[in-house]
Structure 1
Amino acid sequence: MPRPTAHHAWNFDIDRYLNPIVPSPPWRVIPYPVAHFLGYRRTKPTNTGNVMPAFWAFIGIFCAIIIVQVVSMHIPAFESHHAPAIVGSFGATAVLEFYAIESPLAQPRNTFLGQLLASVIGVGVAKLFLLGGVARFAGVQYVGGALACAATTALMALTKTVHPPAGATALLAVVDDRLLGLGWFLVPVMMLGCALMVAVALVVNNIERRYPVYWWTPDALRPKEPILRRAKEEDPESAPASATTTNEGAAPPPPEDTDHDTAAEGPEVAHCKHDLNEVVIRPGHVLVPHDMFLTQEEAQLLETLSRRL
């Protein structure tokens, strides 16, 4: 088995620098009926099948896309800039916002910041390529589109704001002549569309489901100890006995609740690495093999499962 090179282990966690300055959600001071439609729950939501989510996804997507188009058509600035009633990438956003609502890719942070980065980078790349003249731009327009999409994806990955529809936004900002003509006005167009779509999602998705799972991060904000830590060999949490106990269902009691940036209160999830070739999930703890690398989405999925126990 080839030895991994040094760059394989490079990791940049932007939340390490941002989470200490991000305030905890004020669920305790917001009336519960209001907090309910912001995704907060006093109790854990019940499991559902796929029929009810499909029904509400149909209702939500239908309403959201109509609202975005109607509002856009009645804004004079949109008409004067010849802005489209809706940008095509919002179709993919709608699928995430109303069906895959528990995915990290569908949370408000990813939706807003992902589309913001995409529109800024897309317009910036288009402006840069247009410096060579319109005639020359036509011959390299496809290169600009590829560059915008690639740069957006890389930056979203580093900032934990991955939102797949944003890749389409960055591409369209360069290769779609109508969006190309908007220039920097594309940024407010995208932000308004995101705001309207998330607003509809907060109403529709919280009737019988829960959205968002979190507003900023699934981790506890300002935790007393780091969420992601490497367990020592003598750490009892990494011992096989601990994993066996967990698998048998004898989970330890969860720690005291803290103010999380999550839609429902739950135990803080601590990641511990051990030498067993298995992943162990229990309330407030996720045990993974010592040499196992987790992507952002995989770690967030494990944390979500841990909080449901």
Structure 2
Amino acid sequence: GIVHSSDGDISILLGPLGALVTCHYGLTGSPAAQPRNSFMGILITSTMATTSAYIPVSILPVWVRIPVVTSLGIATTLALGFTHPPAGAVAIIFAQESEPLWVSMGRLLFGYVEAILFAIIFINLYESSTFPMYWGIPNPRDWTYWRSKQGMIENLSGRRLLKI
């Protein structure tokens, strides 16, 4: 792996990146796969979890910190409208560390940006697919409303999104 090839100097969390790619290519139209939600969800939960490492273990033991920070991170992302399931996993990973992992967080965010860019390029190569569905805050007038018609999932503009 990366850690062994670099004599332990460089590491990157591959689990959250794998989950992100699954969201992009498997759940293209879902809110959890949109760039805004994925990037902001990871940014919020990883920042909260990394910052929690500054709290001494004598005050907040790791076995308490992990569920507390994860719950607060998930609640914050839900309250702000940045639903992204892998963000909860990232909170668990970063909250269990005894020292802040800002460098690992930066590498993860860079990996997220790369994965988003590749998804934009490759998913949009197919005429029947659109990614992302929105960049910023979705406008209620522009939301995609799904319907099933003759075995096809389409949005109201009639553009085919998925054949079942």
User: Given the two structures, how large is their TM-score scaled by the length of structure 1?
Assistant: 0.43
Alignment pair present for 1:188 and 2:106: yes
Instruction: Identify the match of residue 305 of structure 1 among 134, 138, 145.
Output: 145
1:205 Cα offset (Å): 0.8
Q: Tell me what 1:214 maps to.
A: 134
Q: Tell me what 2:72 maps to.
A: 151
Instruction: Identify the match of residue 142 of structure 1 among 63, 72, 84.
Output: 63
Instruction: Identify the match of residue 170 of structure 1 among 68, 79, 91.
Output: 91
In structure 1, distance between residues paired with 2:4 and 2:39: 21
In structure 1, distance between residues paired with 2:144 and 2:15: 30
| Structure 1 residues not aligned, in runs of 5+ | 1-68, 220-226, 228-267, 270-302
Distance 1:81 1:114, change over 3 A: farther
1:157 Cα offset (Å): 1.0
Q: Tell me what 1:205 maps to.
A: 123
Equivalenced residues, count: 147
Tell me the percent identity: 23
Q: Tell me what 2:19 maps to.
A: 92
1:81 Cα offset (Å): 8.3
Q: Of the two, which has the highest radius of gyration?
A: 1
In structure 2, distance between residues paired with 1:164 and 1:205: 21
In structure 1, distance between residues paired with 2:4 and 2:31: 31
- 1:42-61 C-alpha deviation (Å, 9 max, x unpaired): xxxxxxxxxxxxxxxxxxxx
Alignment pair present for 1:101 and 2:28: yes
1:182 Cα offset (Å): 5.3
8 Å CA contact retained: 1:218, 1:304: no
8 Å CA contact retained: 1:108, 1:212: yes
8 Å CA contact retained: 1:129, 1:144: no
Q: What SS is found at the alignment partner of 2:36?
A: helix
In structure 1, distance between residues paired with 2:7 and 2:90: 21
- 1:20-73 C-alpha deviation (Å, 9 max, x unpaired): xxxxxxxxxxxxxxxxxxxxxxxxxxxxxxxxxxxxxxxxxxxxxxxxx88x99
8 Å CA contact retained: 2:123, 2:130: yes
Q: Tell me what 2:48 maps to.
A: 121
Tell which has more relative contact order, 1 or 2 (C-alpha 8 A, sep 6+). Answer: 2
Distance 1:73 1:218, change over 3 A: farther
Match for 1:173: what amino acid?
F
8 Å CA contact retained: 2:52, 2:65: yes
User: Given the two structures, how large is their TM-score scaled by the length of structure 2?
Assistant: 0.76
What do you get for the CA RMSD once the two structures are aligned?
A: 2.8
- 1:265-288 C-alpha deviation (Å, 9 max, x unpaired): xxx25xxxxxxxxxxxxxxxxxxx
Q: What SS is found at the alignment partner of 2:145?
A: helix
| Structure 2 residues not aligned, in runs of 5+ | 147-153, 157-164
1:217 Cα offset (Å): 2.3
